[in-house]
Amino acid sequence: MEIIQTLLATVVTLGILVTIHEWGHYWVARRCGVKVLKFSVGFGKSLWSRIGKDGTEYSVSAIPLGGYVKMLDEREGNVPEHLSSQAFNNKPVLQRIAIVAAGPLVNLIFAVFAYWLMFVVGVSAFVPIVGSVEQGSVMDRAGVPAGVEVVQVDGYPVRSWDEVNLRFASRIGESGLLSIAVLNSASAVPKVYNVALKDWNVDIENESPLSAMGIQPYRPEVEPILDHIVPGGAAEFSGLQVGDVVVDVDGVSIVNWMALVETIQSSAGQALAFSVRRAGELRVLKVTPKNRVLEDGSVQGVIGAGVKPPVWPEGMLRTIQYGPLDAIGVAYDKTLHMVGLTLDSIWKMIEGAISVKNLSGPITIAKVAGASAASGFEPFISFLAYLSISLGVLNLLPIPVLDGGHLLYYGIELITGKPVSEKIQEIGFKLGMALLLSLMTLAIVNDVMRL
């Protein structure tokens, strides 16, 4: 069932983004008087198609990893003389630029719309209150205390951990001072701390920018109360029940759920004496955690039991919501920030400040699409907006084969007054294709390694 959900989420996600991208090319081409021969969502064998009143063939194809708009073009075949004026290659260079740029730009416009919709409906977020600061971390050295609310990072207001994390991410690979403004319950005036960074880096595969800074968000204390038991697990076999409160294990007091988890994980295959309180009585049960092998080959203990969800204090969860007009500006700023972060990440990857291991391909996209769809409307729309921005920005890069490569050629033509020679374009196409295939291969290898 989970696989089917992931596949459906992936097809829907890519279908939406590819359709709006190609629709951008199509719509502007039609406005410029170019005859569109085919509008296809997907590649390969056509699963469904029909001829519209405008003579365009509309098609849905088997491989949902892209799409294309095929236009009348004298470079791709013979064009009847009476249709010559409708050929793409015969249009003025500014019109060709508009047609090619329309696809990526529509992706960026769609991202603004998606964020606008999110902010109008309302975004639920945890107030960014620092739970703890890791000893020896950059935040600890700067003197940032626990228990304060983060209100600004580098002068930018932040209202959620997501916003804090993104601001931290923009400083990966950099040196200098990062400013963080915080509020505590005793003062209404923010206090600013300057955090010294020196080639600050993050192992994005294993940690977030937040944890790399040494910050753990506040979370309410989670009591060691069992809320569900997995059938067939060690907990069920030993006689543990829903509602049991774990008091100690092998005589060592259990103060919270994390202490219990750490004890279980470090005791794979070992018999443990659980003291539990049940209906006011204290009972001792023998529990032997089963082995779970991790990716790195190490072994953890598991018993197959879940915790009772904690109760969050009032005011710790806020809803970020705007009216329809105000949300336009906020959505635009959010899109602009994400575009800048994407470009910055690409440049830092070229410099080597960010590892190429962070490149992701279709497998990771499928996993994230499935997970975000399962999590609800807000995460799915947010992921859709982010992916649309990535698609738009990447397509505008000046790499032959991509839209940005064509724009580079047309830009040269606009300046020089004559088109780039077919031979140079062919060489560029081969180099661009080689680069693109290399990046795709690397992304897929990274995906497989993450599995």
pLDDT at residue 422, as a whole number: 85
Q: Is residue 35 classed as helix, strand or coil in its secondary structure?
A: coil
Q: Confidence class of residue 406 from pLDDT cuts 50, 70 and 90? A: very high
* pLDDT, tens digit, 9 for 90 and up, residues 7-26: 777 888 888 999 999 999 99
Can you list the domains of the chain with their CATH numbers?
A: 92-122+323-451 (no CATH), 123-219+313-320 (2.30.42.10), 226-307 (2.30.42.10)
pTM for the whole thing?
0.80
Taking residues 328-356, report their average pLDDT: 87
| Structure letter (DSSP) for residue 225 | B
**pLDDT reading at 369 higher than 80:** no
**pLDDT reading at 156 higher than 80:** yes
Give CA–CA dist 14/29, Å, rounded: 22
Taking residues 378-400, report their average pLDDT: 91
Angle at 374 between CA 372 and CA 378, to 5 degrees: 50
Give CA–CA dist 34/74, Å, rounded: 12
pLDDT at residue 201, as a whole number: 80
Angle at which helices 2-31 and 362-375 cross, to 10°: 110
Give CA–CA dist 90/74, Å, rounded: 8
What DSSP element (H or E) covers 253?
A: strand 252-253
* pLDDT, tens digit, 9 for 90 and up, residues 248-279: 999 999 989 989 999 999 998 999 999 999 98
pLDDT at residue 375, as a whole number: 66
Q: Confidence class of residue 81 from pLDDT cuts 50, 70 and 90? A: confident
pLDDT at residue 2, as a whole number: 61
Taking residues 389-413, report their average pLDDT: 92
H-assigned helices in 280-352: 324-351
With 0-12 / 13-18 / 19 or more C-beta atoms within 10 angstroms meaning exposed / middle / buried, residue 323 is exposed
pLDDT at residue 362, as a whole number: 67
What percent of the chain lies above the pLDDT cut of 70? 93
Taking residues 280-293, report their average pLDDT: 90
Q: Is residue 95 classed as helix, strand or coil in its secondary structure?
A: helix
Q: Which residues does the annotation mark as catalytic?
A: 22
Q: Which of 67-76, 110-119, 159-168 has the highest mean predicted lDDT (pLDDT)? A: 110-119
Give CA–CA dist 183/152, Å, rounded: 10
**pLDDT reading at 154 higher than 90:** yes
Residue 312 CB partners (closer than 8 Å, separation 6+): 126, 220
Of the candidates 179, 227, 197, 131, which has an alpha carbon nearest to the alpha carbon of residue 353? 197
pLDDT at residue 308, as a whole number: 77
With 0-12 / 13-18 / 19 or more C-beta atoms within 10 angstroms meaning exposed / middle / buried, residue 215 is buried
* pLDDT, tens digit, 9 for 90 and up, residues 169-224: 888 888 899 999 999 877 788 999 999 988 888 776 677 888 889 999 988 888 89
With 0-12 / 13-18 / 19 or more C-beta atoms within 10 angstroms meaning exposed / middle / buried, residue 411 is middle
**pLDDT reading at 371 higher than 80:** no
Residue 85 CB partners (closer than 8 Å, separation 6+): 33
Give CA–CA dist 22/321, Å, rounded: 32
Structure tokens at 327: 């949300």
Of the candidate ranges 56-65, 174-183, 234-243, the one whose mean pLDDT is the lowest: 56-65
Give CA–CA dist 402/137, Å, rounded: 42
